[in-house]
Structure 1
Amino acid sequence: MTDSSTQPIVDPGVRERHDLAPCASRIEGVLVLPLTRHGDERGGFTETYRTEWFDGPAMVQGNRSDSAAGTIRGLHFHRKQADYWLCLKGTLLVALHDTRTNSPSAGVTQGIVLTGDTTTGIYIPPGVAHGFGALEDSTLTYLVDNYYDGADEFGVRWDDPEVAMDWGIEHPILSGRDAECPTLADVRAAGELPA
Protein backbone atom coordinates (compact mmCIF):
# COMPACT_ATOMS: atom_id res chain seq x y z
CA MET A 1 0.00 0.00 0.00
CA THR A 2 1.35 3.45 -0.84
CA ASP A 3 1.37 6.50 1.40
CA SER A 4 -1.42 8.80 0.19
CA SER A 5 0.40 11.90 1.42
CA THR A 6 3.23 11.34 -1.05
CA GLN A 7 1.66 9.29 -3.84
CA PRO A 8 -1.44 10.23 -5.83
CA ILE A 9 -3.90 7.43 -6.60
CA VAL A 10 -3.10 7.92 -10.30
CA ASP A 11 0.39 8.95 -11.29
CA PRO A 12 0.41 12.21 -13.27
CA GLY A 13 1.53 10.51 -16.48
CA VAL A 14 -1.26 7.93 -16.62
CA ARG A 15 -3.44 10.03 -18.91
CA GLU A 16 -0.58 10.44 -21.40
CA ARG A 17 0.71 6.88 -21.28
CA HIS A 18 0.15 4.93 -24.52
CA ASP A 19 2.71 2.17 -23.98
CA LEU A 20 0.50 -0.73 -22.91
CA ALA A 21 2.40 -3.87 -23.89
CA PRO A 22 0.25 -6.97 -24.43
CA CYS A 23 1.52 -10.37 -23.31
CA ALA A 24 1.94 -13.19 -25.77
CA SER A 25 -0.96 -15.46 -26.59
CA ARG A 26 -0.90 -18.77 -28.41
CA ILE A 27 -3.72 -17.55 -30.67
CA GLU A 28 -3.05 -15.04 -33.45
CA GLY A 29 -4.63 -11.66 -32.68
CA VAL A 30 -5.62 -12.42 -29.07
CA LEU A 31 -4.11 -9.84 -26.74
CA VAL A 32 -3.64 -10.43 -23.02
CA LEU A 33 -3.32 -6.97 -21.49
CA PRO A 34 -1.71 -6.51 -18.07
CA LEU A 35 -3.34 -3.36 -16.74
CA THR A 36 -1.82 -1.18 -14.05
CA ARG A 37 -3.68 -0.73 -10.78
CA HIS A 38 -2.89 2.37 -8.75
CA GLY A 39 -3.94 2.07 -5.14
CA ASP A 40 -3.74 3.46 -1.67
CA GLU A 41 -5.70 3.12 1.56
CA ARG A 42 -8.81 4.51 -0.18
CA GLY A 43 -8.92 1.76 -2.80
CA GLY A 44 -7.68 1.75 -6.35
CA PHE A 45 -7.91 3.04 -9.89
CA THR A 46 -7.26 1.11 -13.11
CA GLU A 47 -7.43 2.46 -16.63
CA THR A 48 -9.22 -0.39 -18.42
CA TYR A 49 -9.65 0.72 -22.04
CA ARG A 50 -8.25 3.05 -24.69
CA THR A 51 -9.25 2.97 -28.33
CA GLU A 52 -5.61 3.06 -29.46
CA TRP A 53 -4.81 -0.20 -27.67
CA PHE A 54 -6.45 -2.19 -30.48
CA ASP A 55 -6.39 -2.06 -34.26
CA GLY A 56 -9.77 -1.90 -35.92
CA PRO A 57 -13.05 -0.28 -34.94
CA ALA A 58 -13.60 1.27 -31.53
CA MET A 59 -15.77 -0.54 -29.01
CA VAL A 60 -19.42 0.58 -29.26
CA GLN A 61 -21.33 -1.49 -26.70
CA GLY A 62 -20.64 -2.64 -23.15
CA ASN A 63 -22.19 -5.67 -21.45
CA ARG A 64 -22.10 -7.30 -18.01
CA SER A 65 -22.47 -11.00 -17.28
CA ASP A 66 -23.06 -12.31 -13.74
CA SER A 67 -22.53 -16.07 -13.39
CA ALA A 68 -23.04 -18.50 -10.53
CA ALA A 69 -20.19 -20.84 -9.64
CA GLY A 70 -20.23 -23.84 -11.96
CA THR A 71 -21.66 -21.96 -14.95
CA ILE A 72 -20.12 -22.39 -18.39
CA ARG A 73 -20.99 -19.81 -21.05
CA GLY A 74 -20.01 -20.52 -24.63
CA LEU A 75 -18.30 -21.27 -26.81
CA HIS A 76 -19.44 -18.46 -29.11
CA PHE A 77 -17.80 -16.80 -32.10
CA HIS A 78 -18.53 -13.95 -34.47
CA ARG A 79 -17.30 -13.16 -37.96
CA LYS A 80 -17.60 -9.38 -37.61
CA GLN A 81 -17.23 -8.65 -33.89
CA ALA A 82 -14.28 -8.36 -31.53
CA ASP A 83 -14.67 -8.58 -27.73
CA TYR A 84 -12.63 -7.10 -24.88
CA TRP A 85 -13.12 -8.87 -21.53
CA LEU A 86 -12.43 -7.91 -17.91
CA CYS A 87 -13.30 -9.92 -14.79
CA LEU A 88 -14.66 -7.65 -12.07
CA LYS A 89 -15.38 -10.27 -9.41
CA GLY A 90 -14.65 -13.94 -8.85
CA THR A 91 -12.55 -16.34 -10.91
CA LEU A 92 -13.12 -17.25 -14.55
CA LEU A 93 -11.42 -19.82 -16.72
CA VAL A 94 -11.57 -18.26 -20.18
CA ALA A 95 -11.53 -20.74 -23.07
CA LEU A 96 -10.42 -19.61 -26.52
CA HIS A 97 -10.32 -21.67 -29.72
CA ASP A 98 -9.20 -20.36 -33.10
CA THR A 99 -11.91 -21.31 -35.62
CA ARG A 100 -10.40 -19.24 -38.47
CA THR A 101 -9.40 -21.60 -41.27
CA ASN A 102 -6.65 -19.32 -42.66
CA SER A 103 -5.13 -18.33 -39.30
CA PRO A 104 -1.56 -19.39 -38.40
CA SER A 105 -3.05 -20.62 -35.10
CA ALA A 106 -6.11 -22.38 -36.60
CA GLY A 107 -7.30 -25.14 -34.27
CA VAL A 108 -5.37 -23.90 -31.22
CA THR A 109 -7.16 -23.92 -27.85
CA GLN A 110 -5.96 -21.78 -24.95
CA GLY A 111 -7.21 -21.32 -21.39
CA ILE A 112 -6.56 -18.12 -19.43
CA VAL A 113 -7.57 -17.47 -15.81
CA LEU A 114 -9.03 -14.06 -15.02
CA THR A 115 -9.85 -12.95 -11.49
CA GLY A 116 -11.42 -9.91 -9.93
CA ASP A 117 -8.21 -9.41 -7.96
CA THR A 118 -5.98 -9.11 -11.02
CA THR A 119 -6.04 -6.37 -13.59
CA THR A 120 -5.88 -8.18 -16.89
CA GLY A 121 -7.94 -7.67 -20.02
CA ILE A 122 -8.33 -10.01 -22.98
CA TYR A 123 -8.95 -8.80 -26.53
CA ILE A 124 -10.62 -11.49 -28.66
CA PRO A 125 -10.67 -10.89 -32.44
CA PRO A 126 -13.43 -12.03 -34.79
CA GLY A 127 -13.31 -15.74 -35.55
CA VAL A 128 -11.93 -16.84 -32.19
CA ALA A 129 -14.48 -18.91 -30.27
CA HIS A 130 -14.71 -17.82 -26.65
CA GLY A 131 -16.40 -18.82 -23.46
CA PHE A 132 -15.75 -19.07 -19.76
CA GLY A 133 -16.31 -21.25 -16.76
CA ALA A 134 -17.16 -19.52 -13.48
CA LEU A 135 -15.01 -21.23 -10.86
CA GLU A 136 -16.84 -19.15 -8.23
CA ASP A 137 -19.62 -16.56 -8.41
CA SER A 138 -18.20 -14.12 -10.94
CA THR A 139 -18.86 -10.93 -12.89
CA LEU A 140 -17.47 -10.30 -16.37
CA THR A 141 -17.77 -7.02 -18.20
CA TYR A 142 -17.05 -6.91 -21.90
CA LEU A 143 -16.95 -4.39 -24.69
CA VAL A 144 -17.70 -5.19 -28.33
CA ASP A 145 -16.92 -3.32 -31.54
CA ASN A 146 -20.32 -4.01 -33.19
CA TYR A 147 -23.85 -3.78 -31.88
CA TYR A 148 -25.60 -7.08 -31.23
CA ASP A 149 -26.43 -8.89 -34.47
CA GLY A 150 -28.11 -12.28 -34.18
CA ALA A 151 -26.96 -13.17 -37.70
CA ASP A 152 -23.35 -12.95 -36.44
CA GLU A 153 -23.84 -15.31 -33.48
CA PHE A 154 -22.32 -18.77 -33.84
CA GLY A 155 -21.66 -21.46 -31.28
CA VAL A 156 -19.52 -24.54 -30.67
CA ARG A 157 -20.15 -27.18 -28.00
CA TRP A 158 -18.35 -26.42 -24.76
CA ASP A 159 -17.27 -30.08 -24.47
CA ASP A 160 -16.27 -30.62 -28.11
CA PRO A 161 -13.36 -33.11 -28.11
CA GLU A 162 -11.72 -31.15 -30.94
CA VAL A 163 -11.58 -28.07 -28.67
CA ALA A 164 -10.34 -30.29 -25.80
CA MET A 165 -10.82 -27.71 -23.04
CA ASP A 166 -10.45 -28.93 -19.45
CA TRP A 167 -12.95 -26.72 -17.65
CA GLY A 168 -12.48 -28.16 -14.17
CA ILE A 169 -16.28 -28.17 -13.73
CA GLU A 170 -17.93 -31.61 -13.49
CA HIS A 171 -21.63 -30.74 -13.80
CA PRO A 172 -21.84 -27.32 -15.46
CA ILE A 173 -24.82 -25.01 -15.46
CA LEU A 174 -25.56 -24.31 -19.15
CA SER A 175 -28.08 -22.22 -21.05
CA GLY A 176 -30.36 -24.08 -23.45
CA ARG A 177 -28.56 -22.41 -26.33
CA ASP A 178 -25.10 -23.49 -25.16
CA ALA A 179 -26.26 -27.05 -24.41
CA GLU A 180 -27.48 -27.34 -28.03
CA CYS A 181 -24.45 -25.86 -29.82
CA PRO A 182 -23.06 -27.98 -32.66
CA THR A 183 -19.61 -29.55 -32.74
CA LEU A 184 -16.80 -27.95 -34.72
CA ALA A 185 -17.15 -30.77 -37.24
CA ASP A 186 -20.82 -29.83 -37.74
CA VAL A 187 -19.98 -26.12 -38.03
CA ARG A 188 -17.26 -26.97 -40.56
CA ALA A 189 -19.62 -29.21 -42.58
CA ALA A 190 -22.20 -26.38 -42.66
CA GLY A 191 -19.57 -24.00 -44.08
CA GLU A 192 -19.89 -21.61 -41.13
CA LEU A 193 -16.24 -21.43 -40.03
CA PRO A 194 -14.65 -18.03 -40.67
CA ALA A 195 -11.68 -17.71 -43.03
Structure 2
Amino acid sequence: MRQGKIDGVWLKPLTLHVDDRGALAELLRADELYWGGSFQGFGQTTFTMSHPGVIKAFHWHREQDDAWFCVRGNIQAVLHDLRPDSHTQGLTEVYYLGELRPALLVIPRGVAHGYRVLGAEPAYLVYHASAPYNPAAPDEERFAHDDARVGFDWTTQPR
Protein backbone atom coordinates (compact mmCIF):
# COMPACT_ATOMS: atom_id res chain seq x y z
CA MET A 1 0.00 0.00 0.00
CA ARG A 2 1.33 3.44 -0.84
CA GLN A 3 0.10 6.93 -0.14
CA GLY A 4 -0.64 9.16 -3.11
CA LYS A 5 0.57 12.71 -3.63
CA ILE A 6 -2.86 13.98 -2.55
CA ASP A 7 -3.30 13.78 1.21
CA GLY A 8 -5.54 10.84 2.20
CA VAL A 9 -5.36 9.05 -1.17
CA TRP A 10 -4.05 5.49 -1.02
CA LEU A 11 -3.24 2.94 -3.72
CA LYS A 12 -3.18 -0.72 -2.77
CA PRO A 13 -1.61 -2.81 -5.56
CA LEU A 14 -3.33 -6.19 -5.45
CA THR A 15 -1.52 -9.47 -5.21
CA LEU A 16 -3.09 -12.11 -7.43
CA HIS A 17 -2.79 -15.61 -5.95
CA VAL A 18 -2.90 -17.78 -9.07
CA ASP A 19 -3.01 -21.55 -9.33
CA ASP A 20 -4.50 -24.18 -11.63
CA ARG A 21 -8.02 -23.36 -10.35
CA GLY A 22 -7.91 -19.63 -11.13
CA ALA A 23 -6.99 -16.52 -9.15
CA LEU A 24 -7.85 -14.74 -5.92
CA ALA A 25 -7.08 -11.23 -4.62
CA GLU A 26 -8.07 -9.48 -1.39
CA LEU A 27 -9.63 -6.06 -2.04
CA LEU A 28 -10.59 -4.47 1.25
CA ARG A 29 -9.94 -5.67 4.78
CA ALA A 30 -11.36 -4.31 8.05
CA ASP A 31 -7.90 -4.34 9.62
CA GLU A 32 -6.64 -2.00 6.86
CA LEU A 33 -9.22 0.72 7.43
CA TYR A 34 -6.81 2.98 9.30
CA TRP A 35 -5.14 4.36 6.14
CA GLY A 36 -4.35 7.72 7.73
CA GLY A 37 -8.02 8.50 8.30
CA SER A 38 -9.23 7.57 4.81
CA PHE A 39 -12.25 5.32 4.28
CA GLN A 40 -14.21 5.67 7.49
CA GLY A 41 -16.37 2.54 7.51
CA PHE A 42 -18.73 0.69 5.19
CA GLY A 43 -21.90 2.08 3.60
CA GLN A 44 -22.49 0.16 0.39
CA THR A 45 -20.80 -1.57 -2.54
CA THR A 46 -21.79 -0.66 -6.10
CA PHE A 47 -21.03 -2.11 -9.54
CA THR A 48 -20.86 0.02 -12.68
CA MET A 49 -20.02 -0.58 -16.35
CA SER A 50 -18.90 2.13 -18.77
CA HIS A 51 -18.45 1.88 -22.53
CA PRO A 52 -15.11 2.45 -24.30
CA GLY A 53 -14.04 6.10 -24.46
CA VAL A 54 -16.59 7.27 -21.88
CA ILE A 55 -15.48 9.97 -19.44
CA LYS A 56 -17.34 9.99 -16.11
CA ALA A 57 -16.12 13.12 -14.35
CA PHE A 58 -16.09 15.00 -12.07
CA HIS A 59 -17.88 14.58 -8.75
CA TRP A 60 -16.97 14.74 -5.09
CA HIS A 61 -18.47 14.03 -1.67
CA ARG A 62 -18.66 16.06 1.55
CA GLU A 63 -19.07 13.07 3.89
CA GLN A 64 -18.29 9.92 1.91
CA ASP A 65 -15.02 8.16 1.10
CA ASP A 66 -14.74 5.81 -1.90
CA ALA A 67 -12.56 2.80 -2.72
CA TRP A 68 -12.45 1.83 -6.41
CA PHE A 69 -11.47 -1.44 -8.06
CA CYS A 70 -11.56 -1.88 -11.85
CA VAL A 71 -12.49 -5.54 -12.29
CA ARG A 72 -12.32 -5.69 -16.09
CA GLY A 73 -11.06 -3.29 -18.72
CA ASN A 74 -8.79 -0.35 -17.93
CA ILE A 75 -9.35 3.22 -16.76
CA GLN A 76 -7.48 6.46 -16.29
CA ALA A 77 -8.61 7.79 -12.89
CA VAL A 78 -8.13 11.52 -12.25
CA LEU A 79 -8.30 13.02 -8.76
CA HIS A 80 -8.24 16.71 -7.79
CA ASP A 81 -8.04 17.97 -4.20
CA LEU A 82 -10.77 20.56 -3.58
CA ARG A 83 -10.39 20.69 0.22
CA PRO A 84 -9.58 24.28 1.28
CA ASP A 85 -7.79 23.17 4.47
CA SER A 86 -5.65 20.50 2.77
CA HIS A 87 -1.94 21.09 2.22
CA THR A 88 -2.41 19.38 -1.18
CA GLN A 89 -5.38 21.62 -2.16
CA GLY A 90 -5.39 22.21 -5.93
CA LEU A 91 -3.21 19.17 -6.72
CA THR A 92 -4.28 16.79 -9.53
CA GLU A 93 -3.17 13.16 -9.61
CA VAL A 94 -3.64 10.42 -12.25
CA TYR A 95 -3.83 6.65 -11.71
CA TYR A 96 -4.17 3.80 -14.21
CA LEU A 97 -6.27 0.90 -12.93
CA GLY A 98 -7.64 -2.31 -14.38
CA GLU A 99 -6.66 -5.67 -15.76
CA LEU A 100 -3.18 -4.40 -16.59
CA ARG A 101 -2.72 -2.88 -13.13
CA PRO A 102 -4.99 -4.45 -10.48
CA ALA A 103 -5.21 -2.12 -7.49
CA LEU A 104 -7.64 -0.60 -5.01
CA LEU A 105 -7.75 3.22 -5.07
CA VAL A 106 -8.97 4.94 -1.88
CA ILE A 107 -10.42 8.43 -2.46
CA PRO A 108 -11.18 10.59 0.58
CA ARG A 109 -14.11 12.99 0.89
CA GLY A 110 -13.46 16.41 -0.62
CA VAL A 111 -11.34 15.03 -3.47
CA ALA A 112 -13.00 15.32 -6.89
CA HIS A 113 -12.70 12.19 -8.98
CA GLY A 114 -13.56 10.82 -12.38
CA TYR A 115 -12.31 8.38 -14.97
CA ARG A 116 -11.96 7.67 -18.66
CA VAL A 117 -12.33 4.17 -20.11
CA LEU A 118 -9.19 3.19 -22.03
CA GLY A 119 -9.06 0.79 -24.95
CA ALA A 120 -11.77 -0.86 -27.04
CA GLU A 121 -13.51 -2.79 -24.25
CA PRO A 122 -15.93 -1.62 -21.54
CA ALA A 123 -14.65 -1.05 -18.01
CA TYR A 124 -16.31 -2.72 -15.03
CA LEU A 125 -15.80 -1.09 -11.63
CA VAL A 126 -16.74 -2.16 -8.14
CA TYR A 127 -16.59 0.61 -5.60
CA HIS A 128 -17.09 0.68 -1.88
CA ALA A 129 -18.52 3.78 -0.23
CA SER A 130 -18.27 4.68 3.44
CA ALA A 131 -21.95 5.76 3.49
CA PRO A 132 -25.06 4.44 1.72
CA TYR A 133 -26.43 6.50 -1.16
CA ASN A 134 -29.41 8.63 -0.14
CA PRO A 135 -31.46 9.64 -3.23
CA ALA A 136 -33.44 12.18 -1.17
CA ALA A 137 -30.25 14.02 -0.15
CA PRO A 138 -27.30 12.80 -2.25
CA ASP A 139 -23.81 13.54 -0.92
CA GLU A 140 -22.53 14.37 -4.38
CA GLU A 141 -21.45 17.54 -6.11
CA ARG A 142 -20.82 17.36 -9.87
CA PHE A 143 -18.97 19.48 -12.39
CA ALA A 144 -17.86 18.99 -16.01
CA HIS A 145 -14.87 16.87 -17.02
CA ASP A 146 -13.34 19.93 -18.71
CA ASP A 147 -13.95 22.39 -15.84
CA ALA A 148 -11.22 25.04 -15.53
CA ARG A 149 -10.82 24.32 -11.78
CA VAL A 150 -9.06 21.10 -12.71
CA GLY A 151 -7.91 21.95 -16.23
CA PHE A 152 -7.17 18.32 -17.07
CA ASP A 153 -6.53 17.28 -20.69
CA TRP A 154 -8.23 13.90 -21.16
CA THR A 155 -6.69 13.18 -24.57
CA THR A 156 -4.02 10.52 -24.95
CA GLN A 157 -0.72 12.29 -25.49
CA PRO A 158 1.90 10.96 -27.91
CA ARG A 159 5.02 9.81 -26.06
TM-score (norm 1): 0.71
- Paired positions, count: 148
**Secondary structure of residue in 1 paired with 2:31:** helix
Structure 2: how far apart are the matches of 1:151 and 1:121? 24
**Secondary structure of residue in 2 paired with 1:162:** coil
Structure 1: how far apart are the matches of 2:148 and 2:43? 34
Q: Which moved more, 1:31-40 or 1:155-164?
A: 155-164
Structure (1 or 2) with the larger CA radius of gyration? 1
Structure 1: how far apart are the matches of 2:62 and 2:104? 21
* Alpha-carbon shift at residue 135 of structure 1 (Å): 1.1
Structure 1 residue 35 corresponds to structure 2 residue 27: no
Q: Do the aligned residues in 2 keep the contact of 1:51 with 1:59 (CA within 8 Å)?
A: no
**Secondary structure of residue in 2 paired with 1:87:** strand
C-alpha RMSD of the superposition: 1.5
Could you tell me which amino acid in structure 2 is paired with residue 143 of structure 1? H
**Secondary structure of residue in 2 paired with 1:96:** strand
Q: Which moved more, 1:86-95 or 1:45-54?
A: 45-54
Give a deviation string over 1:45-90, Cα, whole Å, max 9, x none: 0011112212353222000110000111121100000000000011
Q: In percent, how many aligned pairs have the same letter? A: 34
Q: Which residue of 1 aligns with 2:42?
A: 59
Query: CA 1:166–1:52 in structure 2 vs 1: closer, same or farther (change >3 Å)?
Result: farther
* Alpha-carbon shift at residue 151 of structure 1 (Å): 3.6
Structure 2: how far apart are the matches of 1:54 and 1:106? 23
Q: Do the aligned residues in 2 keep the contact of 1:73 with 1:131 (CA within 8 Å)?
A: yes
**Secondary structure of residue in 2 paired with 1:152:** coil
The runs of 5 or more residues in structure 1 that have no matched partner are 1-21, 170-195
Q: Which has the higher contact order (CA 8 A, sep 6+)?
A: 2
Q: Which moved more, 1:48-57 or 1:85-94?
A: 48-57
Q: Which moved more, 1:111-120 or 1:85-94?
A: 111-120
Structure 1: how far apart are the matches of 2:139 and 2:3? 27
Structure 1 residue 111 corresponds to structure 2 residue 98: no
**Secondary structure of residue in 2 paired with 1:164:** coil
* Alpha-carbon shift at residue 164 of structure 1 (Å): 2.2
The runs of 5 or more residues in structure 2 that have no matched partner are none
Q: Which moved more, 1:49-58 or 1:110-119?
A: 49-58
Q: Which residue of 2 aligns with 1:160?
A: 147
